[in-house]
Amino acid sequence: MKMVEKLKEFVTRRRALLIAPFAFAGLVAVSSRKGSTGEKVSADSDVTIVPFTDAGVKQPAVRMKRVVKSDAEWRKQLSAEQFYVTRRESTDTPFTGTYYRMHEHGLFRCVGCGTALFLSDTKFDSGTGWPSFWAPAAEENIRNRHDTSMFMERTAVECALCAAHLGHVFDDGPSPTNLRYCINESSLRFVRS
């Protein structure tokens, strides 16, 4: 009987030793997301947006109230994956979507508010498994902010109108900008033109 109890105690200790590093890493990753900096989105603030028709035709810039919703409202509108990516800054698993390999002509809109974000003309194959673009449809339609999550310093990209997390921008893209907007498919809605 004592041998069985000792074995159970050994297995319990061993399990705790194996699980502890993963639990610690998870806590650090979650808390490091709080290290992201950027202005808080207020329903009272306006933002300048450049609208595009579904055919990709640029329209004159307009001032609009920021889109601010409760988590409950976002959850009703978005799928679970879309909610976690856009509202909780999660990341799609690479090579699992369809947009990264899509070559059709069209426009990529924000899944949350419909703002035009990227044109297929600026899309390129980065080999990363995420849709990648060398420029946004209009600079006004996105917002960059400093992101210190995941033990890295990066530049996060958000929708300027609804503050949906889109992905990150890196300086290893092609000409003419040398930028790579690495975007989560869950944050986008493709419109063919």
Helix or strand or coil: residue 159?
strand
Distance CA 156, CA 85 (A): 12
pTM reported for the whole predicted model? 0.78
Residues in the chain: 193
* Average model confidence (pLDDT) across the chain: 85
Distance CA 153, CA 150 (A): 8
Q: Which of 110, 113, 159, 182 is catalytic?
A: 182
Residue 17, sorted as left (phi over 0), alpha (psi -120 to 50) or beta, turns out to be: alpha
Distance CA 138, CA 57 (A): 12
Least confident of 1-5, 65-69, 148-152, 176-180: 1-5
Residue 184: Cβ-neighbour burial (10 angstroms; 0-12, 13-18, 19+): buried
Please write the tens of the pLDDT for every residue from 37-49: 344 556 668 999 9
What phi and psi, each to the nearest 5 degrees, are found at residue 15? -60, -45
How far, CA to CA in Å, does 83 sit from each of 45, 70, 123, 164? Answer: 23, 12, 24, 9
Residue 110 annotated among the catalytic residues of the structure:
no
User: Domain boundaries in the chain?
Assistant: 35-192
Closest among 164, 162, 154, 160 to 187, alpha carbons compared: 164
Distance CA 34, CA 108 (A): 28
Per 3-state DSSP, what percentage of the chain is helix, strand, and coil (rounded to 5)? 35, 25, 40
Please report, as a single letter, which amino acid is at residue 116.
A
Q: Which two tokens stand for residue 97?
A: 């979507």
Whether residue 118 contacts residue 99, with contact meaning beta carbons closer than 8 Å, is answered with no
Higher pLDDT, 61 or 25: 61
How far, CA to CA in Å, does 21 sit from each of 9, 16, 27, 44, 123? Answer: 19, 9, 10, 43, 39
Confidence of residue 6 (pLDDT cuts 50, 70, 90): low
Considering the domain 35-192, what is its CATH architecture?
Beta Complex (2.170)
Please write the tens of the pLDDT for every residue from 69-99: 999 999 999 999 999 999 999 999 999 999 9
State the residue for tokens 């040398």.
178
